[in-house]
Structures are given as structure tokens and as C-alpha cells.
Structure 1
Amino acid sequence: MIAVKRMEAGVVNSKHLLGYAIEGCERLLVYEYMSQGALSRHLFQWKKFNLDPLSWTRRLSIALDVARGMEYLHSMARETFIHRDLKSSNILLGEEFRAKVSDFGLVKLAQNGHDSVATKLAGTFGYLAPEYAVTGKITTKSDVFSYGVVLMELLTGLTALNDERAEETRYLPDWFHHIRSDRDKMMNAIDPSLEKTEETIESIAIVVELAGHCAAREPSQRPDMSHAVNVLAPLVEKWKPTEDISQNFAGMDLHAPLMQILKVWHDKGTTNSSDASSTSVSYGGDSKSSHSAGATWCPDSFNSGNCR
């Protein structure tokens, strides 16, 4: 199964694609097929499409997948990339509801690592970091703000911005910050489709705090994406392997941050480069609710600058 995107015009960039075709004015892009579509459909339109509401365990797993994808863009690739349009409709779900970040049409390269980049205002209102909307300058912390808003959507089942809601709740981040310190109000705001048990309430409270920190008004008060991975990984039961893979991944802690997993994998690759060279992991993708493609990294060439 594949997904094909037909473009009306524009230059085809072959990165992150399974394949592409150019003939005359025709532009066809071939992507990995993401069978479950966009996260937004499962959060806001599940009744319309006769879907089951996402369980808390699945929401945690999705949040971690997205955090790892953004961590890769910000600090694991050879260069630092700023997504600029992270939102629930740009998070695609595949089999077993594993998530990938998609739509790299607005991505910016941060030439000097984490320095700010001046650019024309683009993205989606409701997810834009305040400093970006005011100054037109972005950093990786702008993406962290957007990620915080996505966490709020996962928690509440509400869209980031909706003019049809009551005035105090129209802009989700403002309302979320207003009620976050009141436990009763915050718990009442949690998506009613979620089953609230003693166990889930405890982890929900942790994610509430993480969402608030990620979407802090001041960029300096926001964590980086590796912090989000560190917070979420212990909460995700689904992250545990479903079968015994000790023979293939001996000594690897799958709950560890991506940086640590990469280091272990790379260290193993130095002793068996022929095996490591055939292994890749992908994150990311392109737009539309039914497809995605990945940016790969190669454990055996992690420090050699040969990753794609």
C-alpha cells in the first residue's frame, strides 16, 4: 500500500519520499501509506467517522512518537530543522496507531543550530508561538510551543482554536493555563471520552504539567524535546516490546531517550558495521491525512556525516 499526492505545480524535492514521477506539468509524489489517517480525525471527528475514541494509552504513545520525531529534527539530524507547522492534522497514524510527523512544506534550517531564524509568518493560528507571531523570528522552542498545544488537544479533545466555543475557551492554550493550577477544573476539562482511573489520573497530571511547560509564553521557560521524551517514555506501557527481542537488542533500554538509544546502537555498529549499515529508522513525512515518509538515520555513520 502506498499513498500518492498529485501536485498542481512546483518543484519536486525527492527527500523523504518513496518515489516520484515527473512528466510535463505532472508531479506525482509517492509516500508511505498511513492507514489510520490524521490524529485530528481521531480526536475531533471520531463520532462523525464512526471511530472509537483514542484510549489514554494510545494518546501517550502518540505523544511520545511525536516527541521523538521532533527531537530528531531539532537535535539528532546533522543540522537543526524547525518544522513551523506542527499540529494534530499534520500527525499521521499508521498501523497500531504509531505516529509520524508530516508536512515539511514550511520547514526551516537553523543555520547556526538553535539561533533564531527570521521568516515570513506562516503556520496555523492556534499553534503559533507568541514570539513568532509578534517578531516573525523562530527557534526550535517555537516548535516546542506547538507540541505543547498538541498535548493539550490530546488531553482535552478540543481543537486549539474555535470561535464557536465560549469566549474564555476559544483559544485552548490561554484557557488551559488559566485552569491548570486548579485540579478540579483541570480534571473536568479532560476529554470525557477518556476513562479516568487512579492510574490514568496520575499520568494525566504529569502530561498536564508537561503541556503547560512546553506552551509557556516565554521561550526560555520551555524545555527542549528531549525533556518531553524523558517525561513520556516511562508512562508509555505500549513502548515496551510485545515480544522477546533480547537476542537482537541486548543491552538496549527502549525507554531511554533517543540520544542514548542512538549511542548504544552506534557503539554496537562499530563492532559489526556490516549489520548496522542495513538498519534505519524513519520519522516525519509530508502532508495529507493518508500518507507519510521518513527521514532516515544510519547508526554506523552517525558521526561520519553520511546520514540521509
Structure 2
Amino acid sequence: HELEADVEPFRTILLGLFFMSVGMMVNLDAVAQQPLYVFTMALAVITTKALVIFLIGKAFGMEWRGALALGLLLSQGGEFGFVLFAQAQEALLIRPEAGSIFTAVVTLSMVSTPFLMMATRRMREAPITKETRDEPQPDGSNALIVGYGRFGQTVAQMLIAAEIEVTLIDTDVEMIDIADGFGAKVYFGDGTRIDLLRQAGAADAELIAFCIDGDQITEAFLHAVHQAFPRPQILVRAFDRRTMVALKDTPVRKIVREVMESAVVMARAALDALDVSLQDIDRAEAAYRSRDKERLTLQIQTGDITAARDRIFTQPSRS
């Protein structure tokens, strides 16, 4: 990275000098005499290269939009052609006028690339789906689960196993259809909208569990939910400890870090694979949980994610 940073200024200067020298070699009079030929040849280069690369992309299984984007992105003539034309001209293989025309053709094809990408943007973008499914309706469920991905599915199945009625909400149409194939009824809707939660019966529910990916749940939103629906307990899936610190003053029953428990399970499995005794595994887990809790408490109190560094288990560096 340091070498790249040191070389970058020289690379930019030399690249600029290269293109300046190429431009100075072009005989503009020769180009002006045959403008139609230059534009036609440039169009032929762009069309041929784009078509060939598009077909290669399709042959390798690319989706047609991606193959088209790749073809257009690489449709221009290469700058190495400038070097070849200059060498051919010096070796008297082509006339100076021909070299100027070829250089103009390559330059024009390179200039056209960003405009081609802008002109075909809508064609290359995947269409935004307008599909919807059944919107949630109040059905007397005790719990609302917003987000039926890999996290929300586990939460929902455990509640159902305990004979708790749940209402499932998600925005992913494809996932809703897949869940329907497994017998799970998932309603379509944005669970971060207060009006949709009200439509789903949040006012009469006893629990709202936000099991959404990423950092979509904010402190302001949780206060708004609690104000609109004071009855249900609120649970939140947190992306990491930074999210937990950010949501420290929210009226929620519990915030769960999404990978915490699964990581602890793997750590126990790793210790077991290393023939560590069950007693020592339990001791290691208890020590980690204790320190992690202390660290998280201090981070929440101070609002500083770097607080309590000394509570992290670290291995001394080996000299």
C-alpha cells in the first residue's frame, strides 16, 4: 500500500504525458478530411468489441444485463493501439495520415464509453419489482416478528413451538413465497412503519420483535414505537456492540447481538475439539461472558466504544 501511494503521483503524471503526446501526434487535417470514415470506424470497433464480449459473458453464464454492461465497458479501443500505430508509422508500415485516423478512431471510442454507460443505465439495471403479497391484518396474535430471514425464522419457530401465535412481516417477496412453500404465512410490508405495525395489530400484541438485518432500527424509531404502542414488550436484533451502545437509552426489553451466541457455541466446539475438559470449557465461557458484560456496561455508560480495552482477552505477542 505504501508503494502504491508513493507511485500514484508519478503514474498520474506519466499517464497524462502519454495521452498528451498521443494527441500531439494526431494530424487533425487528415481526420477532418474523413470525419464520416472516422465515426463509422469508431462505431464498428465499439459494436464489434461489445458484441464479442457480450457473447463471451453469456457463454460463461453471466446474466444478460451484466454481460451487456461488461461489453459496453470494454468496447473501446485500447491505449496500447497508440503505441502500435506509432511503431508501425516509424517502420513505414502505414502512412502518417492512416496513423492519425487510426489514433482518432481509438480516441473517439474511448471518449464514448462513459456516455454509452450513462445512456444504457436504465437498460442495464435490474427492474424494480412491483410485486406485493398480502398485507398484515390484526388476527389476535400475541407477537409480531418483523423480518423473517435466518434470524427471524429461528425466533418464530421457537415461539410457535411454545404455542404462541405470531404474525410474521417481511418485505422480501421471494422469501415470502419460499416460506409459503414450507407452510409459513408471512405478510408483506415494511415493519419499520408505524402505520403498518398498527395495521398488523401491534396495539393489542404483547411482544414486537425486530429481527431485521443491519442497522435499520434507530433510537428515534424505537421511541416512536413505544409511544404508539405502550403495551407490547420490544426486542431488537443488534448488528454489533456499536448498535447496542447506540440504542442504550431506548425503551426495549432486550437487545440481542446477532452473532454472539452462535460464536460462543463455536468456541465451545473448538475447545471440545482440542480435548479441553467440560469444566474448563464452562469456566472459559463464564470468564468471557463476565468480561464482555463488564466491557459492554462501561461502553454504554461512557458512550465510548473503545472503553474497557483491558477487559478483552488478548494473547501476548511472540517475539
Normalised TM-score (structure 2): 0.21
Higher relative contact order (CA 8 A, sep 6+): 1
Of structures 1 and 2, the larger Rg is shown by 2
Q: Provide TM-score, normalisation by structure 1.
A: 0.21
Structure with greater proportional helix content = 2
Bigger strand share = 1
